[in-house]
Amino acid sequence: MTRVDPHSADSSTSPDASPTRQPEVAAAVADAHRREWAFVLATTVRITRDLDLAEECVQDAYAQALHRWAAQGVPARPAAWLTTVARNRALDLLRQQSTMRRALPLLIEDEHTGDVADAAITALEEIPDDRLRLICTCAHPALSPEAQVALTLRLVCGLSTAEVARAFLVAEPTMAARITRAKKKIAAARIPYRVPGPNELPERIEAVLAVVHLLFTTGHTAPSGADLIRRDLTERATDLARMLHTLLPENPDVTGLLALILLTDARREARTDVDGSMLPLSDQDRTRWDRDRITEGIALVRAALAREPGRYALQAAIAAVHAEAPTYADTDWAEIVGLYDVLVQVWPSPVVALNRAVAVGMAQGPAAGLTSLDELSAEPQLAGYGYLPAARAHFLAELGRTREARTAYEEAILLTENATERAFLAARLAELDA
C-alpha cells in the first residue's frame, strides 16, 4: 500500500478505526459502491488505459475507505475521495514501471490527453462523458453482444459476476470466463477509450441501448438483496438514456428506450407498501405514479412509433397501455396481447414469450394463460427463471388447483434471490395454505 501524507485525501495511514463506527462506515462504503463505482472506475481507466489495473486501483480505494472513514469520518464527497485515492494509486503503479507506455496492449485515445494527473483532474469534472466513454468501450462491435452487456454491468455498474450471471440466466463460471475474454479482447485489439463520433455512434447504438436497458431492468427489480429496487441503477440508466437521446434525437430506438424507462419507472413509488413489501400492479395506488414521467414517456413513444418501431418502442407502447388505464380493471389486455404479438416477431426471446403468455391469461382467462405458459416449460433459458413458476402458480390458484399452485410457488421461491420478491411469493403461498 502506498504511503503518503496522512492528512491528504488519499492517505493510507490513519488512527485506529473506531469499532463503534464500523456498521455506519460499512453502510457508507456500500452506498458509495452502488452510487459511485462507475464514476470512479471510468475516471481511473482514463488514467491507466488498462481495465484490470483500473479495477485493482478502485478496489484498493474502496478497501482503504473501510478503514480510514472509520477513523476520519465519511467525506462530504465520497466520489471525489475515492477517485483521488484510486488515481494516486494508479499514478504510483505507473511510475514504478520502466516506462509509462510499456509494451503491453493498452486502451488508446484519439485525442492528446497530456499529463495523466491533469487528465484525472479534468475527468472529475466530466462525469457523464467518462461514463459514456466507458460504456462505448465496453459496447465495441468487436465484442459479442452478450460480452458487451456483461462487461458493462461488471465494470460500469459494479455488479458481482454472480449478479451478472443471474441477469443473463447463465452459470457463474460461464459468465466469469465471458468477462475475462472480453477484457482481454479489448486490450489486444487496442479498442479506443472514447465516445464515438457522430458518424460512428449509430453503428454502436444497438449494443449501447442493450446495455442501458439491462442496467435499468437490473435496478428495476434487483436480482438479489433486501430491496426490490436499486434506485442508483434505475437513475443511472435514465441519465444515460437521456444523454443518448440528446445525441441521437431522431433515432426511434433511442427514443423508444427513453420512453420505456420513463413509463416503467413512473410506477416506482407505488411498487412497495409502507413497510417495504412488494405490491403487484393490481394493488398499486395509481395516484402515486409519476404523472410527469408518464406524460413525457407517452409523447416519446408516439414519436418512436411514428417512425419504424423497434423492440423498445413496442415495449414502451405496452407500458403506455398500463399507464393510461385509470384502474387495473380498465387495462386493455387485448391490446397488450396484440403488441406482444408484434414484439415477439421483432424481438423473439423466451422472456417476451413468457410476458405474452401472462397477458394472454389476463385477456382470455387463466386456463388460456396456463396453456401458453406450459408451452414454454421446455425452454432451457427459462429453466432457472423464477417468474415462470410464479406465473403458473397464479393461474393455477385462480383455477382452484391449489396443490399444483403450492408446488409452483415453492419452486418460484427457491429460484428467487431478491428478499422482497421472495416475501411476496411466500405470502401468496401462505394464502393458499390458509
DSSP letter for each residue of 114-171 = -SHHHHHHHHHT-HHHHHHHHHHHHT-TTS-HHHHHHHHHHHTS---HHHHHHHHTS-
**Going by C-beta distance under 8 Å and a sequence separation of 6 or more, which residues neighbour residue 261?**
212, 213, 216, 234, 237, 238, 241
Categorize the per-residue pLDDT at 375 as very low, low, confident or very high, splitting at 50, 70 and 90: very high
Categorize the per-residue pLDDT at 352 as very low, low, confident or very high, splitting at 50, 70 and 90: very high
Query: What 8-state DSSP symbol labels residue 336?
Result: H
**CB atoms < 10 A from the CB of 260, how many?**
28
> What 3-state class would DSSP assign to 398?
helix
**Confidence at residue 107, expressed as pLDDT on a 0 to 100 scale:** 57
Q: Is the dihedral of CA 166, 142, 351, 403 positive or negative?
A: negative
Query: What 8-state DSSP symbol labels residue 372?
Result: H
CA torsion, ordered 152, 37, 51, 59, to nearest 10 deg: -130
**Confidence at residue 236, expressed as pLDDT on a 0 to 100 scale:** 79
Which carries the bigger pLDDT value, residue 48 or residue 402? 402
**Going by C-beta distance under 8 Å and a sequence separation of 6 or more, which residues neighbour residue 393?**
405, 406, 408, 409, 412, 425, 428
- The proportion of the chain whose per-residue pLDDT surpasses 90, expressed as a percent, equals 43
- Alpha-carbon separation of residue 180 from 46, 75, 185, 369 (angstroms): 20, 34, 9, 41
- Mean pLDDT, rounded, of the chain: 83
**Whether pLDDT at 215 is above 70:** yes
Q: How far apart are CA 433 and CA 429, in angstroms?
A: 6
**Whether pLDDT at 64 is above 80:** yes
163 grid coordinates = 449478479
Q: How far apart are CA 266 and CA 320, in angstroms?
A: 11
Task: State the average pLDDT over residues 293-305.
Answer: 97
pLDDT tens column, 151-188 = 877 887 787 888 888 767 688 999 999 898 888 888 77
pLDDT tens column, 77-120 = 888 899 899 988 888 888 776 554 444 445 545 443 334 434 43
**Going by C-beta distance under 8 Å and a sequence separation of 6 or more, which residues neighbour residue 348?**
none
Lowest mean pLDDT among 13-17, 273-277, 288-292: 13-17
423 grid coordinates = 416475501
Which residue is listed with cell 380498465? 330
- Alpha-carbon separation of residue 90 from 56, 60, 74, 427 (angstroms): 9, 10, 22, 50
Residue 429 CA to its chain's centroid (Å):
30
Q: Where are the alpha helices (DSSP H) in 196-332?
A: 201-220, 231-247, 252-265, 291-305, 311-324
**Confidence at residue 76, expressed as pLDDT on a 0 to 100 scale:** 86
Enumerate the β-bridge partners of residue 418: 225
**Whether pLDDT at 52 is above 70:** yes
**Whether pLDDT at 130 is above 80:** no
Which carries the bigger pLDDT value, residue 195 or residue 7? 195
3-state helix, strand, coil in the chain (%, to 5): 70, 0, 30
Lowest mean pLDDT among 6-15, 87-96, 130-139: 6-15
Categorize the per-residue pLDDT at 263 as very low, low, confident or very high, splitting at 50, 70 and 90: very high
The answer to whether 126 touches 84, Cβ cutoff 8 Å, is no
Q: How far apart are CA 113 and CA 27, in angstroms?
A: 36
The answer to whether 118 touches 164, Cβ cutoff 8 Å, is no
pLDDT tens column, 20-50 = 567 888 888 888 887 788 788 888 887 887 8
**Confidence at residue 103, expressed as pLDDT on a 0 to 100 scale:** 43
**Confidence at residue 127, expressed as pLDDT on a 0 to 100 scale:** 39
Residue 33 CA to its chain's centroid (Å):
14
Task: State the average pLDDT over residues 412-417.
Answer: 94
258 grid coordinates = 427513453
**CB atoms < 10 A from the CB of 288, how many?**
14
**Confidence at residue 53, expressed as pLDDT on a 0 to 100 scale:** 85
- The proportion of the chain whose per-residue pLDDT surpasses 70, expressed as a percent, equals 85
Burial class (CB in 10 A: 0-12, 13-18, 19+), 172: middle
**Whether pLDDT at 7 is above 90:** no
**Confidence at residue 12, expressed as pLDDT on a 0 to 100 scale:** 38
Closest CA to 336 of 314, 302, 358, 359: 359
> What 3-state class would DSSP assign to 268?
helix
**Whether pLDDT at 336 is above 80:** yes
Kindly report the CA angle at 408 between 431 and 167, in degrees rounded to 5? 110
**Confidence at residue 18, expressed as pLDDT on a 0 to 100 scale:** 54
**Confidence at residue 54, expressed as pLDDT on a 0 to 100 scale:** 86
Enumerate the β-bridge partners of residue 272: 278
